[in-house]
Amino acid sequence: MKVDADGFSFDFTDALDAFVFDEKDKTKPTYHGQPMKAVDIIAEFPDAYIFVEMKDFNDPAAYDTKDFSTEDELNAKRDCFKWLKNYLKYKYRDSYLFRHAEEKVDKPIHYICLLTFDNALNTAMRKALQNELPVGLASKRWKHEIVKSCQVVNVAKWNENFPKWPVRHASTGRA
């Protein structure tokens, strides 16, 4: 099942359904149309859903808070990193709410962010997101999870870990 979005082409070969979630085309049945943030793609499988959000960045260094030359630079980077983390967090939460209203949160949901960072920076982003989404049964009062797991990967790691869902850059064809 092929889906193109935000400059990437996916093929979810074993999906029951896969579509652009933030669909802007009013003629399509998957038109989103609500003043809520939305992840790029949702795919459904027999025992799970995945929510996918992609970002192709020109300057990964802008988000790397481990490296800085001045305090101002560190603060600017922290702001960038925090902005991106919040962006990814609220996209998921709004998407979850939308799907809740659709009665489509009946299976565990995995959130996968495809970012063009190195693994080190993706690992830092995953840690921050995992704590804030939050992943799993975070509260003792919860009866079910908002999100089962959260992964942050680059294109190479995506293809290594999800061979049934190959992805490439749509315009260039590069993997």
Interface with another protein includes 148 (CB under 8 A)? yes
Interface with another protein includes 119 (CB under 8 A)? yes
Q: Which residues contact 10 (CB under 8 A, 6 or more apart)?
A: 2, 3, 4, 18, 41, 52, 165, 166, 167
The DSSP bridge partners found for residue 50 are 43, 110
Instruction: Report, in angstroms and rounded to the nearest whole number, the Rg of the chain calculated over CA atoms.
Output: 16
Binding mask 149-168 for another protein (x = CB under 8 A): x-xxx---x--xxxxxx---
The DSSP bridge partners found for residue 110 are 50, 149
The arrangement of strands across the sheet holding 2-5 comes to 2-5, 8-11, 167-169
Q: Least distance (Å) from another protein to the CB of residue 1?
A: 13
Interface with another protein includes 29 (CB under 8 A)? no
Residues 39-98 that bind another protein (CB under 8 A): 45, 48, 50, 60-61, 64, 66-69
Q: Is 41 exposed, middle or buried (0-12, 13-18, 19+ CB in 10 A)?
A: buried
Q: Which is nearer to another protein, 36 or 162 (CB)?
A: 162
Binding mask 126-145 for another protein (x = CB under 8 A): x-------------------
Tell me if 125 sits within 8 A of 84, measured CB to CB. Answer: yes
Q: Which is nearer to another protein, 18 or 32 (CB)?
A: 18
Separation CA 35–CA 168 (nearest Å): 30
Residues 3-22 that bind another protein (CB under 8 A): 14
The residues binding another protein (CB under 8 A) are: 14, 45, 48, 50, 60-61, 64, 66-69, 110, 118-120, 122-123, 126, 148-149, 151-153, 157, 160-165
